[in-house]
């Protein structure tokens, strides 16, 4: 059981941190015994624990005893822990006078010392201030590739295990899987035949003729792809007459490409509207020519194939009334009462989370970048953003436009593979979900990004990944959040009782028990126990002695 001593204003950040690092903990009770105490505030001289992890740029009562003779302020340091990068966004200091480094930038920011029979790790920044910042703010583009929040969890886990302290955790991935994959599609267009001599069609003609020739000269496409693009242009009259297939129609291609895999389509609620308060010039040109009402025959096909339908919001990000109208419009057509949302152009502001929650959405998946790929809030996990009560955020990690648009990363397919691979590796290592966004017409002319998408799918299918629609993935993480731990004191010591009162979990959780310490950052041994929340006796019988406790029976509802 971990005891936590935090500042009063950090309570929400503490609770969310331990929703992501799902391990037994409680707020510190004086006189109670703990193997680990994490502190950002208060006098810790009387704390008795095998491991004390003490965070903060401010002076601590124990600093002199630890050998901290001075603290030197740092400006936005980027630290390293073994081979991991950790940008620090709040106040931080170098710990002058300390030499036993566990975390460093240009100077010592994290040290380990032995004091009064305990191990003390002293950090020159505040963990829960960092967590609160990450949950509320996007990481700068230069750190988008860094899962900063998850790295804070990894460091703390390693420090506990290095002390040989037993640890139980519910990792952020189902039993039998290393991570989850969520395939999503923002549907801005359902065909080019809806666009006749408008800005969209004229833009397509320019990009497919002069633009594709420029791409050939830059080495971005082959001669064969150039002729294929020009062929699509030549077929336009026949597409408009209905004699040729509309090469922008998205659903048949994606259903075939993703056969057997669930995915989520975010659909426009109202046509001929670009939305209000859209930044940038000529926003009105971006109004869509379709809405969900044009898909009354298509939505049953998608749901029968196991796909989920959500809202591609226009004004939901700034108006709860408009958000309700957009949600109700899509719900009435699709017949799905509970809906998630991703905003058009990823529009949001500091109030968006509260507005979406008031509008009745179950989750949001707007937390991503237009300019690049990576971790906007520093995590692979579904999380509760600052300002939300029940709304959860499904982070978006890989987007086609960010990879290939000339105004963004402008990568070749080979370069895009190199940029995506670390995110895949992080998902395998850290768990959580890898959320992919591929737009409606990205498979067709003039983009032809479908080949890369198929290769990405094959790569992900070759791994131990659970594929779930957005709502499924969010609901799995929501059930994980409903698990909590209770401190039990017995004659044999402190135990943690696991409580879960809910419907059986599918796919099952895995309860991970670490039985060996971390050596040089590598966790040497652990046991995973699959548990769907139904049988407490079966789970108890499989736990090692130091963890064997009664587990509350679920109340099925």
Superfamily of domain 179-191+248-476: Glycoside hydrolase/deacetylase (3.20.20.370)
Higher pLDDT, 523 or 12: 12
pLDDT tens-place string over residues 30-70? 988 899 999 999 788 888 899 999 999 998 988 888 888 77
Q: Is 152 helix (H, G, I), strand (E, B) or coil?
A: helix
Beta carbons within 10 angstroms of residue 272's beta carbon? 10
Percent of the chain whose predicted confidence (pLDDT) is above 90: 69
Per-residue pLDDT band at 550 (split at 50, 70, 90): very low
pLDDT tens, position by position, 352-403: 999 999 999 999 999 999 999 999 999 999 999 999 999 999 999 999 999 9
Contact status, residue 354 vs residue 389, Cβ threshold 8 Å: no
The domain 2-165 is placed in CATH, from the list 3.40.630.30, 3.30.300.30, 3.40.50.880, 2.60.40.10, at 3.40.50.880
545 has pLDDT over 70? no
Asked whether 20 and 383 are in contact (CB, 8 A), the reply is yes
Q: Are 373 and 420 spatial neighbours (Cβ–Cβ below 8 Å)?
A: yes
518 confidence band (pLDDT: 50, 70, 90) = low
- Taking residue 175's Cβ as centre, other Cβ atoms within 10 Å add up to 18
Cα separation, 555 vs 533, in Å, equals: 10
Taking only the tens place, the pLDDT of each residue in 109-162 is 888 888 888 899 999 999 999 999 999 999 999 999 999 999 999 999 999 999
Q: Where in the chain is the domain with CATH 3.40.50.880?
A: 2-165
DSSP per position, 444-483: STTT--HHHHHHHHHHHHTSSEEE--HHHHHHHHHHHHH-
Of 27-31, 380-384, 478-482, the one with minimum mean pLDDT is 27-31
Which residue matches tokens 């380990």?
A: 112
Backbone angles phi, psi at 230, to 5 degrees: -65, -35
Question: Per-residue DSSP letters for 107-146?
Answer: SEEEEEEEETTEEEEEESB-HHHHHHHHHHSPPPGGGTT-
Rounded to 10 degrees, what is the CA torsion of 211, 214, 220, 226? 70
pTM above 0.75? yes
Angle between helices 127-136 and 148-162 (to 10 degrees): 150
3-state SS, 258-300, equals CCCCCCEEEECCCCCCCCCCCCCCCHHHHCCCCCHHHHCCCHH
CA gap 459, 193 in Å, rounded: 34
Please give the mean pLDDT across all residues of the chain: 90
Give the model's confidence band at 517: pLDDT under 50 very low, under 70 low, under 90 confident, else very high.
low
- How far does the chain reach from its first CA to its final CA, in angstroms? 30
Dist CA 402 CA 396 (whole Å):
12
pLDDT at residue 351 tops 90: yes
Q: For residue 364, count CB atoms less than 10 angstroms from its CB and return exposed for 0-12, middle for 13-18, buried for 19 or more.
A: buried
Give per-residue pLDDT as tens, 417-463: 999 999 999 999 999 999 999 999 999 999 999 999 999 999 999 99
**Pair 247, 192: CB distance under 8 Å:** yes
Q: What is d(CA 80, CA 249) in angstroms, rounded to the nearest whole number?
A: 47
User: Rounded CA gap, 469 and 309, in Å?
Assistant: 9
Q: Is 167 left (phi over 0), alpha (psi -120 to 50) or beta?
A: beta
**β-pairing, 167-169 with 509-514?**
antiparallel
| Residue ranges of the chain assigned to CATH 3.20.20.370 | 179-191+248-476
> Is 99 strand, coil or helix?
coil
Type and span of the H or E element at 51: strand 49-55
């Amino acid at each position: 059981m971990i005891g936590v001593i935090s500042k009063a204003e950090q309570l929400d950040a503490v609770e969310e941190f331990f929703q992501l690092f799902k391990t037994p903990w409680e707020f510190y009770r004086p006189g109670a015994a703990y193997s680990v105490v994490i502190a950002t505030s208060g006098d810790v001289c009387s704390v008795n624990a095998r491991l004390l992890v003490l965070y903060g740029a401010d002076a601590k009562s124990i600093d002199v005893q630890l050998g901290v003779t001075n603290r030197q302020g740092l400006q936005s340091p980027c630290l390293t822990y073994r081979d991991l990068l950790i940008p620090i966004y709040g106040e931080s200091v170098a710990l002058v006078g300390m030499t036993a480094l566990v975390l460093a930038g240009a100077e010592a920011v994290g040290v380990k010392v032995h004091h009064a029979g305990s191990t003390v790790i002293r950090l020159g920044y505040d963990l829960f201030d960092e967590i609160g910042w990450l949950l509320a703010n996007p990481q700068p583009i230069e750190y988008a590739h860094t899962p900063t929040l998850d790295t804070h969890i990894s460091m703390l886990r390693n420090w506990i295990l290095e002390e040989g302290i037993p640890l139980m955790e519910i990792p952020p991935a189902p039993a039998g899987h290393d991570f989850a994959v969520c395939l999503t599609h923002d549907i801005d267009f359902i065909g080019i035949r809806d666009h006749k001599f408008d800005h969209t069609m004229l833009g397509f003609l320019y990009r497919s003729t002069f633009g594709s020739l420029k791409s050939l000269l830059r080495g971005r496409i082959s001669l064969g792809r150039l002729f294929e693009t020009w062929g699509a242009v030549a077929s336009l009259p026949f597409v408009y007459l209905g004699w040729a297939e509309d090469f922008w129609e998205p659903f048949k291609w994606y259903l075939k490409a993703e056969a057997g895999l669930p995915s989520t389509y975010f659909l426009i609620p109202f046509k001929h509207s670009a939305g209000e308060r859209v930044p940038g010039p000529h926003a009105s040109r971006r109004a869509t020519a379709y809405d969900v009402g044009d898909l009354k025959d298509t939505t049953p096909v998608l749901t029968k194939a196991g796909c989920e339908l959500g809202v591609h919001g226009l004004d939901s990000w700034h108006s709860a009334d408009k958000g309700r109208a957009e949600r109700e419009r899509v719900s009435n057509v699709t017949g799905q009462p509970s809906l998630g949302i991703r905003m058009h152009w990823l529009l949001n502001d500091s109030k968006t989370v509260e507005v979406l929650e008031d509008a009745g959405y179950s989750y949001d998946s707007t937390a991503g970048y237009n300019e690049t790929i990576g971790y906007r809030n520093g995590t692979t996990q579904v999380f509760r953003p600052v300002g939300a009560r029940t709304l959860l955020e499904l982070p978006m990690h890989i987007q086609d436009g960010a990879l290939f648009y000339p105004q963004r990363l402008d990568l070749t397919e080979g370069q895009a593979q190199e940029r995506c691979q670390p995110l895949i590796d992080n998902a395998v290592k850290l768990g959580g979900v890898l959320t992919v966004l591929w737009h409606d017409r990205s498979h067709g002319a003039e983009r032809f990004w479908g080949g890369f998408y198929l290769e990405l799918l094959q790569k992900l299918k070759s791994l131990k990944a659970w594929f779930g629609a957005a709502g499924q993935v969010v609901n799995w993480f929501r059930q994980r959040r409903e698990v909590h731990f209770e401190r039990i004191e017995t004659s044999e010591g402190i135990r943690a009782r696991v409580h879960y009162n809910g419907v059986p979990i599918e796919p099952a959780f895995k309860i991970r028990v670490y039985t060996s310490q971390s050596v040089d950052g590598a966790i040497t041994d652990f046991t995973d126990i699959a548990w769907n929340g139904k049988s407490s006796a079966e789970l108890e019988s499989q736990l090692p002695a130091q963890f064997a406790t009664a587990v509350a029976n679920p109340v099925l509802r």
